Amino acid sequence: MSPVTRRPFWLLVLIVTGGAAAVVAAAPSSAVPKFERGMLTLIQENRRVTLTVEIAKTTETRSYGLMLRKSLPENAGMLFVFEQDARWGFWMKNTLIPLSIGFIDKNWRLIEIKDMRVVDDPERGPFPIYEASEPYRYALEVNQGFFERKGITTGARLELTPLK
């Protein structure tokens, strides 16, 4: 899953990101970017759910995301980190796993959840753009339905512990 900026900027970013994604997809597996890792705890009232996350905080890692993976462990995900609040859009280019995305504000509160489907042609699209209704700083991608299965809804608080 790759983020793109909010229109009118997104067309240029889609073209650049799409071109980069095609190059990465055609490259050997050594071209997969290195992701930092962490433990992310979602806290909803008395419930705590912890998952292992890969952290995408550079242009390269955010553009690559979860592309070309055939599965994702149940208690794993990818945390996208942005430098500023915005309404970044996400798309499912070369993404083979149905995902749910949680949009998180700068105070680490879950503000919105959306399900994202795998398109019929993950390489060429067309690709719907998934956006939050308000600006956010972080986005968490997990297996589709994860939030519902774990009883996590908007308003949940999140805590990240980086791993070395």
pLDDT tens across 46-94, in order? Answer: 999 999 999 999 999 999 999 999 999 999 999 999 999 999 899 999 9
Cis peptide before 126 (omega within 30 of 0): yes
How far apart CA 116 and CA 13 sit, in angstroms, is: 20
Residues 6+ apart with CB under 8 A from 28: none
> Structurally, what CATH architecture does the domain formed by 2-163 represent?
Sandwich (2.60)
Give residue limits of the domains in the chain: 2-163
* pTM listed for this prediction: 0.81
In angstroms, rounded to a whole number, what is the distance separating the alpha carbons of residues 123 and 134?
Answer: 29
Integer angstrom CA distances of residue 69 from 64, 77, 138, 139: 11, 12, 21, 18
pLDDT at 106: 97
Summarised one tens digit per residue, pLDDT across range 81-139 is: 999 999 989 999 999 999 999 999 999 999 999 999 999 999 999 999 999 999 999 99
**Which of left, alpha, beta for 66 (phi over 0: left; psi -120 to 50: alpha)?**
alpha
User: What pLDDT sits at residue 164?
Assistant: 80
Position 3 scores a pLDDT of 58
